[in-house]
Amino acid sequence: MWQWFYKLGSPRHFYDMTTAFLPWLYGITFFLLIVGLVWGLGFAPPDYQMGDNYRIIYIHVPSASIAIGGYVMMACMAAMHMIWKIKMADIVAKVTAPVGGMFCALCLFSGSFWGKPTWGTYWIWDARITSTLILLFIYVGVAALRSAYDSESSGAKAASVLTLVGVVNLPIIRYSVDWWNTLHQSASNLSLRVEGTNPPEIWIPAFFMGFALFGIFLLAVILRSRNEILVREKRTQWVQDLLDRDVQEGLQRA
């Protein structure tokens, strides 16, 4: 177990392991996505209150969870980078910032496009919505801070510090609905938590879509990490060998 973690911490082993793992991830994600989309959009019945609008939930809720979960992951990576100076952790943290930010933006967009038919407005200063916006700002801030430094290592450390400081926002998003009188959620009686009130035809495809989006998130993070590994380790022997091999294969195919 520890051995495995240790290996994952080395860029080279991470690269090798994900090479084996990637095709599976592609396959599963694709499968879930197709099933979720076809079922959710084609077969699930319209909601008695919101008609077909509710289908946005298939994007909205997973992207919200991923935006938050992605931040948690980024923060863990930042902590690992700060404490144990694990290079791989920093690589993952670096590539997570823009990906997580994208999902956060996706949540905001899907939410506000949902808000128009349900609440009658695109934007409302509701606690959860606001704190999601703040999360987006923090994602942007972390990425911007890193890129503002020229030295890779300084940027990495600075971004780690900011990521850890930004963790305080997470409980706010989670509990904001309790602290604040809020429009979000209360306007809709459709909630995943109370599965009993909704027919399984609605929430099962939601699970499929949830895992599919999570798969996409993982794919994005892993692919970008691999890219980053190659850039950072470009002068090591194994990357050179890898590139040589790719070139050879390309030549043979041509």
Q: Work out what residue 158 binds among ligand HEM, another protein, none; the CB cut-off runs from 5 to 8 Å by kind.
A: another protein
Q: Work out what residue 112 binds among another protein, ligand HEM, none; the CB cut-off runs from 5 to 8 Å by kind.
A: ligand HEM
Smallest separation (angstroms) from ligand HEM to the CB of 102: 14
Would you count residue 184 as binding ligand HEM (CB under 6 A)? yes
Across the strands, what pairs with 47? Answer: 51
Q: Give the x/- contact pattern for ligand HEM in 49-88, rule: CB under 6 A.
A: --------x--xx--xx--x--------------------
Q: Work out what residue 8 binds among ligand HEM, another protein, none; the CB cut-off runs from 5 to 8 Å by kind.
A: none
List the end-to-end C-alpha distance of the chain, in Å, as a whole number. 43
Would you count residue 18 as binding ligand HEM (CB under 6 A)? no
Please pick, from the candidates 80, 88, 102, 190, the single residue that binds ligand HEM as defined by CB under 6 A: 190
Cβ proximity to ligand HEM: between 101 and 111 the closer is: 111
d(CA 56, CA 112): 10
d(CA 10, CA 232): 12
CA dihedral 148, 153, 159, 163 (to 10 degrees): 170
Interface positions with ligand HEM (CB under 6 A): 57, 60-61, 64-65, 68, 107-108, 111-112, 114-115, 118-119, 128-129, 132, 173, 184-185, 187-188, 190-193
